[in-house]
Structures are given as C-alpha cells and as structure tokens.
Chain A
Amino acid sequence: MDNLDLQLIPLIYLLFAFPIIGGFLSLKWKMASVISSLADVVISIYLLFYPNVEGFFFIDEISKVFLIMNSSITFITMLYSQKYIRDGIVKERWYYFLFMLYSDALYGVITLNNLGLIWASLEASTALTVILVAYEKEEVTMEATWRYAVIVSMGVSIAFVSIILFYYGLHTLTLTSMIGRGTNSPLIVAASLLGILGFGTKAGIFPGYTWLPDAHTEAPATVSSSFSAVLVPAAAVVVFRIYQIAPFMEWYFLSLSAFSLLTASLMMARQRYFKRLFAYSTLENVNLGLIGLIVSQPLGALLLFLTHAFGKTGAFLSSGVYMEELGTKKIEDVEKRAGLSRPTNASLFLSSLAVTGTPPFGTFVGELLIFIKVSQISLPLLAVMLASAAIAFVSVNYNVTRMLKPKEERKYDGILGYISLASALISLIIGVVALEVIQ
C-alpha cells in the first residue's frame, strides 16, 4: 500500500462512516443529518482531485462525479427536510435515520469493486426506502410503495441470476477483473441480457421501469428528488458496468435504452400530475446519459447526470412546496388556484428548463455532446433521441407554464422555495462554466 492509498482509503471509509453516524445521531438531533452529509460533500469534492482507486473500491471519474451527486443531493434534501418532514408512517427521527443509511447504500453502489456487493447495496437501498416511499401512509401511497417494493425486488433478483452466470463464466466478481473479459458466448450473452433487464429495473430501463412514476408521485418530495437525482442514475451506471464487461453487446444496450427513452417521452405527453411528469423526465434524462456512456461520450453523460441531479432536485423540491401549500398534485388544480411566492415559481421554472436541456443549462451541454457523438455512429438512433428530447421539452415546459400562469400571488415566506431555487441555480451555473471550459 503506497502513501496515496494510505491517505485515500481512510477518506473513503469516512465517506461511509459519516452517514451512519449522522443517521444514529439524528434519532436524537435531526440537524446531525445535515452536518454529516455536509462532511461527505467536503470529502467527495476532495476525492475528485485524487487519482482513481482500484482495489476493494473502484473509484473512477464516473464514481467521483456520482459521489459528489450523492453527497450534495443528500445535503440539500436533508436541509429541506428540516422544515418539510413531520411524523408519518414512522416518527420523523426514523425518516432521517433511514435516509442516511440509504445514502450510505448508494455510496456502496457507486464505489464498490465487487458486482455481488454492488447488487447487495442496491437491494439494501430498496429495503431502506420502502418506509420512506410509504411515509405519507395514504391508500394510494401504500399501493405505490407495494409496486415499488415488488417490481424492484423481483427485477433486481433477475440481476442476481445474471451475477451467478457471470461468476460461472468468469470465476470472479471483481469488477475491474471482469471489465472487457466477456467473450461472445451464449453464457455471457445470457448474463448480460439478464443484467440489463434486472439492474435496468432500477435504472429506469424498459420493461421494468413501471415502478418509477408511481413511487416518485407518492413519495415525499425529498425522497423523489434523491431517487431521480442519484438512485436511478447510479443504477444506470451499474448497467453501464455490465456493458463494459460485454462491450460486444453494444446494440442491445443502445436499443433498449433508446426504446425506454422514446416510451418515457411519449408517456410524458399525457401526464396530469406534475410529480409524475418529472418522474418520466427522469427516465428520459437517465437513458440519454446511459446512451452517452455507452457511445463513449463520458463527459457529456456525466455533465448530463450532474446537472440533471440538481435540476431535478429543484423541480421535486419546488413540487413539494406546491403540494404543501395547495394540497394537490394535479397540474390542472394548480393552474386554477393562486400561485406561490416568487422563489418557488422561479425554482420550478428554472428547474423545468434545466431538466429539458435548455441552453445554457448543463443538461444542454451534456445532451449536445452526446448528440454529436451519436450522429457519428447512427442516424436512426440520433433521430429517436432528438424526437424524444423534443417531446419531453414540450411536455414539461408546456405543463409547467400552465402551472405558472400569472395569478394572485399567495404569501409564502418559508425557506423551502429558496432551497429548491438554489438547487436549480447550481444546474445553471454548471452549464455556464461547462460552456466556457468547452469553448
């Protein structure tokens, strides 16, 4: 172990330790969740400037960006939760505890170098969030939670079969030893297909993505934002790792991702509930990012994932204020009722622009880079992607504009609107900086 490892490994363990400590402390003092997630933001930014790690952990550029996404979004949502969350299906303190452990499980998905342990972390993230999705304890919430638990668990079980097959074929589950070793044999083809189907359930890939709109609509705004910003993209990275094991299956992955992208966009056109609309937008963005990774445009994909994370957090958190103040999730109801304060409206507006790839947001830069790369590979694929992005742009912005039509402004002095606005602005700032750097 060299000096660099001696510095890095304790830092990585601290990254895992803070959410656990924060989770336990927040059983007594809820601000502990904010402080521990802030500590993780500092560590993840620090890790960005270190070389890649390969051993028990596998931290490459993708993992580094995802570490920042997970820590920052957890920090923002924990800050927001302080004023937003009250007792639900369990006492408020358990919400913080479970959320922090869930964020820890996501660190496992992002950084571990063993496909089996990555699977276990992903499955643990499901178990830890069942209560969080069911938090509001209404009939519809319980139904959505049930669909989430059953569909995701059964899907991820299929991924476990894929792991068994990979282990049978390659005799290792260490990711860095598996990458690129998959030969074009029936065994590896079967393992890869089951992998994309299984892990794809959690990553928002057709046909297993049906849980996603339901869970996002019914979970508290904070949980929805973390799902959209980190959980689903992190699972997409696991799908990308499967692709890296068997890169000869590129077109299977691209086709399924493109089909998911197209169907999600078409579904967006007929949505009546704003959180559901944003959930489908997550499917669209994550599949675009996954295609970006597969076609070897990591910069575009990571920019898209990163800025989408902040933009979508802004969208869900401002949705939370709307639901809290107006007591509805229906776009039509919001259109008829009085509007909210300027920060909340501005946050919703900016974040809807961010998640639909409007210039100069980072999502625009990311999507542009991916489109340019895809144009060199396949024009039909590019056409599907452009059509999907266009449908998504119109669907989200048309509906958000309906919600923001000038109405009598309701007085709302809470800080929640400002937190969601800050998240949307980060997406804008990243985009402007990225444009400058690329130029």
Chain B
Amino acid sequence: MMKLVEEALYLVGVIVVLTTVYLVGQAYYKPIIRVQGIQSFLIGGLSVSLYFITGRIDNLILALEVISLRGIGVTFTLERAVKGRYGYRETVRGIASLFVADLILVSAVIVVSTFFQRVVASSVMFPEDVILAIIVIFQGLALAMLRKGTIPQIIGYVEQENGIVMLGLFLISLPLLIETSALLDVLALVILSYIIVREKPEHDRKIDELVG
C-alpha cells in the first residue's frame, strides 16, 4: 500500500514539474496564469495526501492555505491584471529556443538535485519528491530570468515559492506560523505587482538612469 502511495505522490510531483516546463514555453498570459493555479492546486493536493499519511493537521491547514491563497487568490489577482483579454501575450521571440534551453537546464538540475538529495537529505520518506521540489524551485528562477514580461516574472516567483512549499512538505515541515507568514507575504507581493502590471507590462528597455 505504501509503495502505491509513494508512486502516486511521485506521479503528482512529476505533473507539477511538467507544468513548470509548460510555463517556460508559453507566451500567452491567460494559460500561464491558469496553469500556475493548477500547479498550486496540485501542491495543495500533495499536502492533503501527506495529512492522510502522517496524520499531521498542519499539512491539512497548509493545503487549504496554498489552495486558497495561491490557487485562487493569486490566480484571481493576476487574471484581473490582464483583464481577461484573449490573445494577450508577451512580445517575446525565440520561445522554442527558450524551451530547449529550459530542458537542458532541467537535465542539469536533475543531476545536481539527485546528488544533493543523496548527500544532504538521504533519510527522508519520499526522496524522489525532494528532487522534484528542487527542480520546481530552479524552474521558477529560470522562468523569471528568461522572460521579460511582468506576468511570467511574477509566476516565476510564485512557482519558486511553490517549490519551496513542496520541499518543506517532503523534507521537513516548518512550524505552521512560518509557513502562513510566507504565504501571506507572497500574496501581498502579488497583489502589489498588480499595480506594476498595469503600469509597466514588460521590462526590456534600457533606461539610462538605471545603468551601471
């Protein structure tokens, strides 16, 4: 039975990683926002599963927080920011090249995180999920660095935070107060970003005053 649960959790973790790859290769804002929502729901689901396995009520509360604050709160805020416009996308070229670069990055991160898991966190219950969590963290960083639009950069940040929640779930659960503070801080930053999305949707122009 435990083997089955382990494999189910691993499968969900792999789906989370697939969503991160999709996000790097998607230029349209609406799908990006929604897939981020799905990703947050999946991580909430992982937390619920851990509640059933470990019986820790903290996991259930964390799941509710992730789903409500990230899955619903962040998605709703960002959808408002793009005002539900269809076809609204980032003016980015070479998205296929970015996608390929990202796959190379993922391969490299798999090697590094496997090494990390064996050396640093060898005695955890779900070692594969720790590796997947590290991939999600790096994918968040990659998304924010590779793209110039405000929305993908916010999503990159949220994705990085999702990876951190996942790492916490499978490595060691932090006290709930700290997890909650982190979730609220992220939500606050996303709501503030809403203002910047309206004022400045992209960040590619060189501004003399900010050089050097």
Complex contact B120–A217 (CB within 8 A): no
Q: Among the listed stretches A114-122, A371-379, A427-435, which one makes contact with chain B, having 4 or more residues with CB under 8 Å of it?
A: A114-122
Residue B43 at the chain A interface, CB threshold 8 Å: no
Contact in complex: A143, B207 (CB < 8 Å): yes
Closest to B196 in A: A146
| B178:A120 contact, CB within 8 angstroms | yes
Verify if B18 is at the interface (C-beta below 8 Å from A): no
Residues of chain B contacted by A134 (CB below 8 angstroms): 195-196
Residues of B within 8 A of A123 (CB): 181-182, 185, 189
Contacts of A157 in B (CB 8 A): 157, 160-161, 164
Q: How many residues of B contact A (CB 8 A)?
A: 42
Name A173's contact: one of B121, B157, B178 (CB within 8 Å).
B178
Q: Which of B116, B121, B210, B212 contacts A144 (CB 8 A)?
A: B210
Chain B CB within 8 A of A168 CB: yes
Please tell me if the beta carbons of A168 and B172 are within 8 angstroms of each other in the complex: yes
Q: Is A267 an interface position by the 8 A CB rule?
A: yes
What residues on A are CB-neighbors of B192 within 8 Å?
127, 130-131, 149
**CB-contacts of A134-167 with B (<8 A):** 134, 137, 139-140, 142-147, 149-150, 153-154, 157, 160-161, 163-165, 167
With a cutoff of 8 Å between Cβ atoms, the chain B residues found around residue A165 in the complex are 120, 171
Asked if A140 contacts B175 (CB within 8 A), the reply is no
CA distance A160 to B182 in the complex (A): 9
Interface string of A257-285 (1 = CB under 8 A from B): 00000000001001111001000000000
Which B173-212 residues sit within 8 Å CB-CB of chain A?
Answer: 174-175, 177-178, 181-182, 185-186, 188-189, 192-193, 195-196, 199-200, 203, 205, 207, 209-210, 212
* Cβ-based interface call for A391 (8 A): no
A272 to B137 Cα, complex, angstroms: 37
Give the size of the chain A interface in residues (CB under 8 angstroms). 49
A116-B174 in contact given A142-B196, A149-B192 (Cβ < 8 Å): yes
| CB-CB nearest in chain A for B118 | A186
A 265-309 to B, binary, CB cutoff 8 A, 1 in contact else 0? 001001111001000000000000000000000000000000000
Q: Which residues of A contact B121 (CB under 8 A)?
A: 168, 187
Q: B120 touching A143 by the CB < 8 A rule?
A: no
> Does B31 lie at the interface of the complex (its beta carbon under 8 Å from any beta carbon of A)?
no
Residues of A within 8 A of B186 (CB): 153
Using a CB–CB cutoff of 8 Å, the interface residues on chain B facing chain A are 116, 119-121, 137, 140-141, 144, 150, 153-154, 156-157, 160-161, 164, 167-168, 171-172, 174-175, 177-178, 181-182, 185-186, 188-189, 192-193, 195-196, 199-200, 203, 205, 207, 209-210, 212
